[in-house]
Copies of this chain bind each other. A is one copy, B any other.
């Protein structure tokens, strides 16, 4: 669709424009137009062709809202995703991004969730942001997928998110109070035996859609990293950990990395995440491009909601 073959003369220009107007704007059929202008319908077709190739008719696909449809489609096609939403956020600070992305994720979830679905929520600040603005869902059961990390800057925990969504949906809420990481594997095993925890994890095979965050295994880019010990940080980096998908650790090429830390976590495993039909991640922050690529390559993820700068970074280097 290059702009070439300039229409020859002025009469031709006016005629072509008139025909194009009748066809594209007035919605007349080519035959009607042919009769109106006293020419064959083939000539009409040719005029319309030249109108487009010469650039006289310009077709523009642009969404006026905050969704960047172009980047969304690129991301979806590049990584073979089912859903891909890229929002244009006016601000680039973490909180603004989180809220924008969270709101878009809430809209997406409200759109795609059906009465038969069981929703899983992993722990992430963006997931909490989404939960806060999620509209009423049609009686969807909600399952907590991970423990929570206590953050200095906010009261939200995964438990709150699960409860919020469950009450908003009117569905059953399977939640528990437990941290995401504990000191040793024995404590973790003991916690998993807890009735609420065991019951929630027993619901895992029923979960059809889940929402998770993505962290980059670097300082300030992953709450899990920041909460980990200095030893764990280095050990996992040495193992090739690039990203954590709400607790599931994967390498840069997307393959899950078995870690000793996993035994000290109250979270679903990579296999359990893979069993969920549709996992949607909500990453934000421009520095997380490598982690997002890893997450999307892992095959664990079916959808993404993010913002333009991160989406562009993910595509640029992919």
Interface residues of A (CB under 8 A from B): 1, 8-14, 17-18, 20-21, 24-25, 27, 51, 55-65, 67, 69-70, 72-73, 76, 83-85, 104, 107-108, 110-112, 305
Contacts and interface: CB of A to CB of B under 8 A. Distances in A.
Given A9-B110, A10-B107, A25 B73 contact: no
A61 B24 contact: yes
A249 to B, nearest CB: 29
A57 B56 contact: no
A136 to B, nearest CB: 15
User: Which of A10, A14, A25, A61 has its CB near the most chain B CB atoms (within 10 A)?
Assistant: A10
B108 A72 contact: no
Given A69-B17, A111-B10, A63 B56 contact: yes
A9 B113 CA distance: 12
Contacts of A51: 61
B9 A108 contact: yes
A87 to B, nearest CB: 8
A104 B13 CA distance: 12
Nearest to A73: B18
A57 B67 contact: no
Nearest to A1: B25
A58 B51 CA distance: 16
Contacts of A56: 61-63, 69
A60 B17 CA distance: 10
Nearest to A10: B85
B59 A14 contact: no
B57 A18 contact: no
Contacts of A12: 111
Contacts of A57: 59-61
Contacts of A24: 59, 61
A73 B16 CA distance: 10
Contact of A64 (B55, B60, B104): B55
Q: Considering the complex of A and B, which 3 residue pairs feature the smallest CB-CB distances, nearest first?
A: A9-B111, A17-B69, A14-B72
